[in-house]
């Protein structure tokens, strides 16, 4: 939240999330998991705009740390 919130309003918009994904993934990772698909998944799991209270939901970022033990791009965008 601290690094991605460009307008310092404590809310991440879909545009800010896309930028966060683009800035923290390689081009080949974006072929598999596009910034738009990440925004869609955040919408489904957390809700948009993304706020601190949304992040605390048990369903939010449930893929952080990997899916079934496999590394995902969320390892980089979900850093504590």
Is 45 within the bounds of a domain? yes
Is 59 within the bounds of a domain? yes
**Per-residue model confidence as pLDDT tens digits over 32-55:** 888 998 899 888 888 899 888 887
Is 3 within the bounds of a domain? no
Give the Cα separation of 42 and 35 in Å (integer).
11
Question: Range of 50's domain?
Answer: 11-77
Is 27 within the bounds of a domain? yes
Instruction: Provide the pLDDT for residue 66.
Output: 46
Q: Looking at the 3D structure of the chain, how many domains does it have? A: 1
Where helices occur in the chain by DSSP H, the ranges are 14-24, 27-32, 35-45, 52-55, 74-77
Kindly list the distances between the CA atom of residue 38 and the CA atoms of 10, 12, 45, 64, 76, in Å, as whole numbers in the listed order: 19, 13, 10, 12, 13
Q: Against a cut of 0.85, is the pTM above it?
A: no
Is 1 within the bounds of a domain? no
**Per-residue model confidence as pLDDT tens digits over 55-78:** 777 777 666 544 444 455 555 556
């Amino acid at each position: 939240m601290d690094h991605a919130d460009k307008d310092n309003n404590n809310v991440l918009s879909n545009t800010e999330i896309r930028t966060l994904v683009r800035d923290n993934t390689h081009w080949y990772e974006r072929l598999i998991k596009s910034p738009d698909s990440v925004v869609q998944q955040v919408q489904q799991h957390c809700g948009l705009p993304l706020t601190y209270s949304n992040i605390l939901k048990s369903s939010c970022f449930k893929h952080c740390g990997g899916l079934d033990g496999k590394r995902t791009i969320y390892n980089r965008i979900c850093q504590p």
